[in-house]
Chains A and B, each alone.
Chain A
Amino acid sequence: MKNLSEKIFNTLSGEKAKETTTDICNYYRSFGSAGYHAATNLVVNKLQEIGINDVKITKYPLDGKYTKLNQKMPLAWEPYSASLSINNPIQEEIVNFSDSPSCLAWWSVPTNEGGETRKLVDVGFGENKIDFLNKDIKNNYVFVKGTEIPDGWRHAAINAMELGARGIITDYLFYPTHPYRTRTSVPDAVQLLRLPNQFGKYKAWGCSINYNSSKRLQQLLKLGDVYVNADIQCKIFEGEGVNIEATIKGSKYPDECVMFIAHTSAGTRPGANCAAGPSLMLEIARTIKYLIEDKVIKEPLRSIKFLFVAEGKGSNVYIHDNLENIKNVKTVFCFDSVGHHQEKLNSNLMFYKHPDSSPSFINDYFIDIIDKIPKDSSWVFKDDNDISSIKFLPAPYTVWSDNHTWAAFGIPSPLIMSWPDKYFHTQLLTPDNTDPRVFKHCGIATTLAALEIASVNIEEAYRISNIIFNYSIFRINKIKINFLDKLAEYKKSNLNINKNNINYYIKKINYLAKIDINAIKSLNELLDKNEINEFKNVIKDFKNKIDYIKNENINYLKSYF
């Protein structure tokens, strides 16, 4: 185990992943745009350089009609330029695309060349009908004040466009994280937005501006009429999405695979968060290819696949087209911002778990992997590299990227990304905010896990069952500790804990035990028929052990009835 992780450590280069991230960040990568295709071609060329020849390319229309998994594909969209200026009562530029490519909302519609000057109407948050009442919205521009709810932007934009607004200016900053990412702590940040116009219904554009420009505009709007010139050049059109599926074939079960997925699309330029995913995937592909070719490791039993997609849409296409055999995908590691510089961005590398609706071995197994991989510092009294300067933390299931589509099909689909993200989807998220050490740390953990899962046999399944069992005992006992904490709180307040309170803890213990037993059972997906038969006894044994711990704790809680 340690041997394999050390081999990966000696081969995988965080610097290479950062270099590729920097290259990809040169392109604006909205769905179907020239930059998106350039980034996708860059990936294809790198795969050729690495020597991975098993590459399947699937193209699909981004035309607002083509449907996969019951979802229509959006139209493609390409930005060229954007400039907003106050014309009256003063003359002053508010924002431009050259300095802040994140200013122009996806699926905006262009103005006339040279721009259009219209009145700007303040609609507050734009969430309620009353915000628009008796205001001259039709054929004018509106200013929407940002809130802390990202969905509020979408709702306000629809309200405005339904009333005929031709442009929307806003100072939204999504996902604020106090104190690092707030409107006042990152005043220059310009948030990438998506106009809810992916099917081209409205003739409007959206632009976000920074905090200082927003304050300026709001002051002027309070004083009287404000006129803004908007020169927006972009294209909404029928384009194309591309899936790149690269495969390192497995020796025994080539049709089964462990997959990595990331997107060559991105919210904006530079978009170092999104670019990090495909870049690390290429480095992992190079590492595995090298280790196999140089006979440092054996070929894994199952294939290792690398799927490069347009975020979300590519998964819909892949799953739809492979629905009958989708269970052959044994785990999907979904990458997003896997290289964030943790000190610069106040960030952590996060392992967002697979959801409980389809209990999986992956959650506890991967926590164990994070614990085991080589680290960069040592305990003061031993030279053993057991302390990591890179924070890599587990957190509950998070709906964010392609992971949620895969999870819905019961495929173990951990999401690896960085959070908090000080510059998330703004022009400030440049590649110099990534860190080779973080790429490497993430790369080692996921490569090791992928190679192990790809070669799981009954012995390995037994080892993983023990890991799950170990964490299960911890979790169940932790509920009892939570109960004792609550009991102490009640006693301090001279209150008695009631039966309902106790029942809550009992139910939670039952819930956890059931999830954990099913997580062990999920290892059956990695075994052949004979092994499954043999593994039945292992499952039974662990079920008995977990039930024993469960009952012991429940009986203790019941003693307080």
Chain B
Amino acid sequence: MIININHIPIKIILNISPPGLAGIDFLEKKKLISEMQKEDPKIIYDTMRPVGDEFWNHIDGIKTLKTIAENICFQFDLLLNHEHFLKIAEGLYKSKYIDFK
């Protein structure tokens, strides 16, 4: 499945602690973060912990990936292309935490 920023994610597993960046291994995470740092140098590896949590927490079957990404960027003052968040969605989809409407 090719995921795009207008997709609406839905949780497949309910009532769990946020799975963070499930489905993205350490080196992929480092690569993702290094790409993000080109746009916002304030980002560090651990920025992705609250970002990952909030990505999960925002999934309500209504918000698109774009809205979720935008909300997270506003919450943590990140200046990022929202397309980066597709990688997080892909990881959660691959790990069977989410599907799409």
| A interface list, Cβ under 8 A from B | 69-71, 127-128, 148-152, 154-155, 175, 312, 316, 319-320, 323, 355-358, 396-399, 404-405, 407-409, 507-508, 511-512
Interface 9-mer from B1-9, B45-53, B86-94: B45-53
Name the residue among A148, A316, A408 with the largest chain B CB count within 10 angstroms: A408
Provide the residues of chain B in CB contact with A404, threshold 8 Å.
Answer: 17-18, 53
A397–chain B nearest beta-carbon distance, Å: 5
Residue pair A151, B45 in contact (C-beta under 8 Å): yes
Q: How far is the CA of A508 from the CA of B73 in the complex (A)?
A: 10
Contact pick for A69, options B17, B26, B27, CB 8 Å: B17
**How near does chain B come to A354, taking the closest CB pair, in angstroms?**
11
Distance between B75 CB and nearest chain A CB, rounded to angstroms: 5
**How far is B17's CA from A405's CA once the two chains are assembled, in angstroms?**
5
A396 / chain B contacts, CB cutoff of 8 Å = 50, 75-76
Partner of B50, one of A175, A312, A355, A511: A355
A356 cross-chain contacts in B, Cβ below 8 A? 54, 71, 74-75
Tell me whether B17 and A316 are in contact (CB under 8 A): yes
Assembled-state Cα–Cα distance A152/B58 (Å): 28
A407 touches B15 (CB 8 A): no
CA A238 to CA B1, docked complex, whole Å: 42
> What's the least CB distance linking B57 to chain A, in Å?
4
A–B Cβ pairs within 8 angstroms, 11 of them:
A149-B30, A154-B26, A355-B50, A357-B71, A397-B54, A399-B49, A404-B17, A404-B18, A408-B57, A511-B71, A512-B74
Assuming the contacts A127-B27, A396-B76, A397-B50, asked whether A355 and B15 have C-beta atoms less than 8 A apart, the reply is no
The size class of the interface chain B forms with chain A is 20 to 34
A320 and B29 CA atoms in complex are apart in Å by: 30
Closest Cβ of chain A: how far from B22's Cβ, in Å? 11
Known: A357-B57, A397-B54, A408-B17. 16 other contacts (CB 8 A): A69-B17, A70-B15, A127-B30, A149-B45, A151-B26, A152-B26, A155-B25, A356-B54, A357-B71, A399-B53, A404-B18, A404-B53, A407-B57, A408-B18, A511-B70, A512-B74
Bound form: Cα–Cα A154–B58 in Å? 28
Q: Is B56 an interface residue (CB 8 A)?
A: yes
Query: Which residue of A128, A150, A355 is within 8 Å of B27 (Cβ)?
Result: A128
B28-55 CB contact bits vs A (8 Å, 1 = yes)?
Answer: 0110000000000000011001101110
User: Which of A320, A399, A407, A507 is close to B70, meaning CB atoms less than 8 Å apart?
Assistant: A507
